[in-house]
Amino acid sequence: MVARIVPVEPFDLVVFGVTGDLARKKLIPALYHRQRAGQMPESARVIGCARSELGREDFRKMVRLSLDEAIPEAYRDRDALYAFLDTLDYLQVDARSDAGWPELSAKLRENAHPVCAFYLAVGPTLFGEIAERIGRHGCRAEDCRVIVEKPIGHDLASARTLNRQLAAHFDEHQIYRIDHYLGKETVQNLMVLRFANALFEPLWRSEHVDHVQITVAERLGVEGRGDYYDRTGALRDMVQNHLLQLLCLVAMEPPARLEQEAIREEKIKVVRSLRPIEGADLAAKTVRAQYRAGVVAEQAVRGYLDEEGIDPESETETFVAIKAEIDNWRWAGVPFYLRTGKRMGYRVSEIVIQFKRIPHLIFGDRIGAVQDNRLVIRLQPDESVKLAMMVKTPGPKIRLKPVHLNLNLADTFEDRSPLAYERLLLDVIKGTATLFMHRSEVEAAWRWVDTIREGWSFLGRRPRTYTAGSWGPEESIALMVRDDRTWYEHLA
């Protein structure tokens, strides 16, 4: 089945920080794929801005190199590449001074398109200044949008400051806060699974669900981002945004419509219902750890403290596990176990809905153990939805066996699954904010995370350690075992 291409208005997209990693590794490949799919309007302009002195041709060369690295052979297409390169322009613009701004403003005014989006692929300390200069230098089009990416602050107070700075120049509906997890296909599929199938909704509650697990395990370490990571840690880098967004999509009430306001309201209610974790609960319900040297994908890797850019005394966590509880009617008594870590044995992001035990077993215990039903939604590396069920094995006797009803999305649909940024960038152009975070969502998530962070600092304990290539520290296993449960680690 081939995906339908929804045409978008001709637009101008200005990317600040275009020479940085985010732009080169994610944004540019995403735009190229849209070009190849035929979704980029002919007159669209992508104007890269950065401090480096680059000519237009140098910039295009840089883009070609980025695409060579990022685009698999099967998706390379000369015509699409040249058409894409034609949309590109570059201007040397300094976010911290007025240098280059009059030129940017003039460029935007010549053949201006009604829709203009500014992607701030720069550190958050520059958000306010850039937002102010966009207005002061007359760069705003009729319909103007600004896109920002995490980290949106490093705690509630700094997030509020950033949100205020943006709000001084843009209305909330013009601000698109990206959490790229929301652009992932399977994450969107989660809403469809829940709200387009009658099967799950009656079961999606404390009467039938024993617990939920959300795992985002990475093989990567800090990858040249030591300085950022060491100031941030896994709680802020992953839990505050990606894991809480996944939790919200699993736990939210059905919104009345697929509209941004309706969805955001439901998600915010979930974050606000998260029980704060403080006092004695911190030790019982959270685990923080740092990786030691080990072996990942058959390669020996250094420990966190020996990574480049990391303070050798650092207490920053690279792994977090949390038992989260949602104090509302639907989820009372159903723990949501969250865990994420760098340098783990596998790259896997998965949501597991573990259903409760059957109330009464009619088969006796000699016919094989009955495994409780489980729905496993895998976001990456492959996208699949599996439902573990009990069946009878063939033969004259009744013997039970758990099997998976397995929906592998790659096998079901021939299409390449679009990259998260393809969807998100084009949604900004269309003015669809459903998959973006509202100011209040970001702030509510920080409030919950800050309590944990402050508790950890108060306790003043060093993080535990785990061997690179493992599933995390023993304490993470103990977190589950204490509740008579185990992490789901079935990778087949």
Which residues are the active-site residues? Answer: 242
Q: For the segment 180-199, give every residue that binds ligand BG6 (CB under 6 A).
A: 180
The DSSP element (H or E) to which 428 belongs, if any, is helix 420-430
**x-marked contacts with ligand BG6 along 154-183 as a string, rule CB under 6 A:** --------------------------x---
Residue 465: CB partners within 8 Å, gap ≥ 6? 289, 290, 291, 292, 473
Cα separation of 280 and 330, whole Å? 26
Decide whether 273 or 340 has the Cβ nearer to ligand BG6: 340
Q: Is the peptide bond before 381 cis (omega within 30 degrees of 0)?
A: yes
Give 292's strand partners: 467
Decide whether 259 or 311 has the Cβ nearer to ligand BG6: 311
- Rounded CA Rg of the chain: 24
**x-marked contacts with ligand BG6 along 385-404 as a string, rule CB under 6 A:** --------------------
Give min distance, CB of 371 to ligand BG6, in A.
Answer: 29
Give min distance, CB of 222 to ligand BG6, in A.
Answer: 8
Q: Please classify residue 425 by burial: count the beta carbons closer than 10 Å to its beta carbon, then call 0-12 exposed, 13-18 middle and 19+ buried.
A: buried
Q: Side chain identity at 11, as an amino acid letter?
A: F
Which residue of 237, 317, 383, 422 would you call a contact of ligand BG6, by CB under 6 A? 237
β-pair type (319-324, 336-341): antiparallel
Decide whether 303 or 341 has the Cβ nearer to ligand BG6: 341
Give min distance, CB of 471 to ligand BG6, in A.
Answer: 17
Which residue of 12, 185, 210, 218 would you call a contact of ligand BG6, by CB under 6 A? 218
Q: Is the peptide bond before 151 cis (omega within 30 degrees of 0)?
A: yes
Residue 220 as a binder of ligand BG6 (CB under 6 A): the answer is yes
Q: How far apart are the first and last CA of the chain?
A: 27
Give the Cβ contact number of residue 146 at 10 Å.
24
Give min distance, CB of 359 to ligand BG6, in A.
Answer: 38
Cα separation of 302 and 337, whole Å? 28
Give 408's strand partners: 384
Give min distance, CB of 220 to ligand BG6, in A.
Answer: 6
Give min distance, CB of 140 to ligand BG6, in A.
Answer: 29
- Return the structure tokens found at 214: 């959300």
- b/e for 342-364, b at 16 or more Cβ within 10 A? bbbbeebbbbbbbbeeeeeeeee
Residues in binding contact with ligand BG6, number by CB under 6 A: 5
Q: How many residues are given for the chain? A: 492
Decide whether 241 or 273 has the Cβ nearer to ligand BG6: 241
Q: For the segment 7-46, give every residue that binds ligand BG6 (CB under 6 A).
A: none
Decide whether 180 or 374 has the Cβ nearer to ligand BG6: 180
Give min distance, CB of 130 to ligand BG6, in A.
Answer: 21
Decide whether 419 or 452 has the Cβ nearer to ligand BG6: 419
Q: Residue of minimal CB distance from ligand BG6?
A: 237
Torsion angle of alpha carbons 326, 203, 186, 215, nearest 10°? Answer: 50
Cα separation of 391 and 395, whole Å? 12
Residue 350 as a binder of ligand BG6 (CB under 6 A): the answer is no
Decide whether 237 or 443 has the Cβ nearer to ligand BG6: 237
Residues within the interface to ligand BG6 (CB under 6 A): 180, 218, 220, 237, 349
